[in-house]
Amino acid sequence: MRTQALVALLASSACLVAAVPATPVSKDKHTSLRLIKTSPSDPGRWVTDEQKITDFKAKGVGFVDITDITDPDVLSILSAPDSEDVALSARAVTYPTAVSHQTVANPLISQVSTMNPKVWLQTLTDYYNRYYKSTYGTQAATWLYSTVQSVAAANPAITVAQFTHSAYNQPSIIAKIPGNSTNIIIVSAHFDSTGGSSTARGPGADDNGSGVVVILEALRVLANAKFKGKDTLEFHFYSGEEGGLLGSAAVFASYKSAAKPVLAVMNQDMAGYSPSGKISIYTDYVDSSLTAYTRVIATAYTGTTTSDVCGYGCSDHASARSNGFPAAYACDEKMSTSTPYIHTPNDSYSTIMWDAVLRHSKFTVAFLVEASYL
């Protein structure tokens, strides 16, 4: 999900619940409401789950659900200006300025195709929606977990686990390829969707079925090759992104608590609609050094890239960043020329540009190979 904060819209929306302080606030009177932030300066406001979708998501307003976030450092980062490179202290690596593992990456990239992604995306979009609190969303998670297990089975060293969430039934999913070190490289995509309300048809083809099948295809290629790099590789499929980055927030809170040595998080949200034919590397609410490295890889393996900004709470890289991990965000297109069907029932399978999916899949394999030697 890509959104830009619309200040004027927030000011005019009659449906919003009055803002309240974001730290700490008694939930006794708000047991059925959620506390969200729409910008660093927003102190927070209580809204229903449905309002999160209809009054914010469907209107292009980015937000983070902070109801369950208790870490004061995370809350501080979520309230800090974007100009602060907050993950620097957590990043224990200097990123290269050029690629250096083409002899390993290129043979793997040659194995990338759209054959399996087309089948996977058809299944994902056949669910009525993948809303994180719906039965359909839970069913989609069950199918995805089974599919990730099936893809990973080509390499017995790969583990696949569900990461459960207390506030809703749709789990996140994590596959892991062990490396020679415990340092971690993460590629990620969310798999939930919305069509503009909790009950609307929400095929979520570009947002973000496309990102899911890209990550799956990269996993398939590396699993079949039994690839093992210096660093451990993780493939994250998050639930609840459309509800305010819920799944990724919980995952990265857990990783922070465990002091996991995450060297890079590269998030992809929308990878299947690209009139420009270029990967777009977004530059706000990210780690600037990792972003530069991500652009180096994308340019070397796929050609010219574009740039844009997507605003507060744009996608799951914000959760990695707020927990102190270096994060980057790669997308299919600039905001101005991105899919017009986002968060509607029209974000359908038929709108996908498969050359974009292929481009992102090749890029993801390249990123994993290059970064696995950090």
Token pair belonging to 128:
């009525």
* E runs forming strands in the chain: 34-37, 45-47, 64-65, 159-163, 172-177, 184-190, 232-238, 262-268, 280-282, 306-308, 327-331
Which residue is catalytic, options 343, 347, 360, 370?
Answer: 343
190 annotated active-site:
yes
For residue 141, the number of C-alpha atoms closer than 13 Å in the C-beta half-sphere is 30
* Strands ordered across the beta sheet of 159-163: 159-163, 172-177, 232-238, 184-190, 262-268, 327-331, 280-282, 306-308
332 annotated active-site:
no
Token pair belonging to 160:
């696949």
Which residue is catalytic, options 49, 206, 242, 332?
Answer: 242
Smallest CA-to-CA distance from 32 within 51, 19, 15, 16 is with 51
Task: Specify the length of the chain in residues.
Answer: 374
Phi/psi for 134 (5° steps) reads -95, 160
Which residue is catalytic, options 206, 207, 231, 333?
Answer: 207
Give rounded-to-5 percent helix, strand, coil for the chain: 40, 15, 45
Residue type, 46: W
236 annotated active-site:
no
Residue type, 184: I
Which residue is catalytic, options 42, 65, 165, 190?
Answer: 190
Which residue is catalytic, options 269, 316, 332, 333?
Answer: 269
* Residue 122 and residue 349 in contact, taking contact as beta carbons nearer than 8 Å: yes
207 annotated active-site:
yes
- The residues annotated with a catalytic role in the active site are 190, 207, 241-242, 269, 343
